[in-house]
Amino acid sequence: MRFWLCLLVAAIFMQEASAQDMKGDIPRVRVPATATAEVVPDTAHIAIGVVSERKTAAEAAAENARAAQALVDQIKALGVAPRDIRTLGISLTPTYSEDRDAPGRTKRTITGYTARNTVEVRLHEIDKVGTVARALIDKGANLFGGVQFSVSDAEKRVDALRVTAIKDAAAKAKTYAEALGLKLGRVLEIEPESDAPQGGARMRAMAAEGATGIPVEPGVQTLSARVTVTWELVQ
DSSP class per residue in 172-232: HHHHHHHHTT-EEEEEEEEEEEE---EE-PPP--PPPTT-S--------EEEEEEEEEEEE
Q: Average the pLDDT over each of 101-110, 112-121, 127-136, 179-188 and give the range with the smallest value.
A: 101-110
Q: What is the pLDDT of residue 210?
A: 38
Same domain, 34 and 63: no
Residue 23 confidence (pLDDT) above 60: no
Q: Give the structural domain span for 196.
A: 27-40+153-234
Domain CATH for 211: 3.30.110.170
Residue 6 confidence (pLDDT) above 50: no
Same domain, 31 and 65: no
Confidence tier at 199 by pLDDT (50, 70, 90): low
Q: What is the pLDDT of residue 8?
A: 38
Domain CATH for 121: 3.30.70.2970
d(CA 211, CA 208): 6
The string of pLDDT tens digits covering residues 119-130 is 999 999 988 898
Average pLDDT over residues 51-73: 96
Same domain, 47 and 139: yes
The string of pLDDT tens digits covering residues 204-228 is 333 333 335 678 888 899 999 999 9
Same domain, 70 and 95: yes
Same domain, 145 and 55: yes
Give the angle subtended at the CA of 109 by the CAs of 106 and 111, to the nearest 5°: 145
Do β-strands 106-123 and 143-150 pair in parallel, antiparallel, or remain unpaired? Answer: unpaired
Q: In whole angstroms, how far apart are CA 66 and each of 70, 72, 133?
A: 6, 10, 19
d(CA 50, CA 116): 6
d(CA 50, CA 224): 37
d(CA 11, CA 226): 40
